[in-house]
Amino acid sequence: MQTTLEFQPLRLPEHVQQLRCEVRAFIQSEIDVGTFDPDRPEEDWGVHKRFAKKVAQRGWIGMTWPRQYGGQERSFLDRFVVNEEMIASNAPNSVYFTADRQSGPTLIKYASERIKSEILPKIIAGEACFCIGMSEPDSGSDLFAAKCKATRTDGGWKVNGSKIWTTNAHRAAYMIGLFRTSAPTEKNRRHGLTSFLVDMKAPGITCNLIDQMSGVRDFNEVVFDDVFIPDDQLIGEVDGAWKQATTELAYERSGPERFLETFAVLRKLVEMAGNKPDPRMTEAIGGLVAELHSLRRMSVSVAGMLEAGREPVSEAAIVKDLGTLWEQELPQRVRQATAFLPVGTESYGAFERVLQFNTRIAPKLTIQGGTTEILRGVIARGLGLR
């Protein structure tokens, strides 16, 4: 029985640190020319599309992918620092981020050559936005319980049912959807799930936006009403998609986005504290930064495992679980730390706006990438405890 998990210290090579400097300079130039505001979420989809083109021109989408599809075969650590800097600065990366993180790698590993040749270059060019069709209204993050059904028909499949919490489905060109194609067996609850590449413009697909108290509108309920998916859109094997879904989730759950989504409030706190904070503020900031550093080291370690061709499912789940708890608690802990700062100033007003927004987005973070309960089940299974 496995009783340990592997988080190995990993020092980033010098060339990766140089890449970080390049990315920071690029981001700062985009902020200076007013492309985006790092303290405010960007709702204008046109901004995200233009930004994706600029990132693509620098070769920062699909960095790890094979050259034959337009990739550069660079390391996962290269990709890690690019995305870490983008997320920490709240860059408008929504067009390409999901495709770069998990949809593209899933296609590379499991899709047909036709799909790879057609779709991957579009992602690398910053032109193809993807969404993830996993969670469902009656099953949430328990993918074993998926009921959205794909039924055999002439030349393909008809899909009926719904997916939920589907980020950017109303804007996406494609979805990688996990559908029920046959019933699970008594011995294998994982049997009967199949992945397909879904054209989000196909007739019969309806995206119902889900409002959030933050004002951001990116979550959707996606309803499928007799949606036809051709046979050649199959990804992997019929009834055998659980393995590839597990691989996909390892990519989804371990990156810097799993602990940096509310990072803006910590950055603002450091700015407000100034160069000579009092001892109480120093202690508060020091504790938060130490915790952040530990989460980051764990995430970098998972990137190293992916680089080595491994599938760190349990380790990725731990990063997501601990990271989500930390970033959800961060706005309140930062608010407590500001008790001794002067209020009523212009800078405090700007800080308060950032704090209020991040307080409102914090509750939804447990939904993204799997709920805490499901993640802890994954971890327990990885440790041989269930």
Q: Please give the residue that has the higher pLDDT: either 308 or 64.
A: 64
Distance CA 359, CA 382 (A): 33
State phi, psi for 188 to the nearest 5 degrees: -140, 95
Q: Which of 84-88, 159-163, 191-195, 216-220 has the highest mean pLDDT?
A: 159-163
CA dist 84 and 82 (Å) reads: 6
β pairing state of 193-199 and 174-180:
antiparallel
pLDDT reading at 4 higher than 70 = no
* Tens-place pLDDT, residues 153-206: 999 999 999 999 999 999 999 999 999 999 988 778 778 999 999 999 999 999
| pLDDT given at position 5 | 45
Question: What one-character DSSP code corresponds to residue 61?
Answer: S
3-state SS string for 24-52: HHHHHHHHHCCCCCCCCCCCCHHHHHHHH
Q: Let me know how long the chain is.
A: 386
Of the spans 158-172, 181-195, 237-251, 355-369, which averages the highest pLDDT? 158-172
Please say whether the beta carbons of 381 and 326 come within 8 A: no
Give the confidence band of 11 by pLDDT, cuts at 50, 70, 90.
low
Q: Which residues pair with 161 in a beta bridge?
A: 224
77: enclosing H helix or E strand: helix 76-88
Mean pLDDT of 111-133: 96
Name the percent of the chain lying above pLDDT 70: 95
Give the C-alpha distances (Å, rounded to integers) separating 250 from 195, 254, 309.
16, 6, 12
Cα(19)–Cα(163) distance, integer angstroms: 38
pLDDT recorded at residue 28: 95
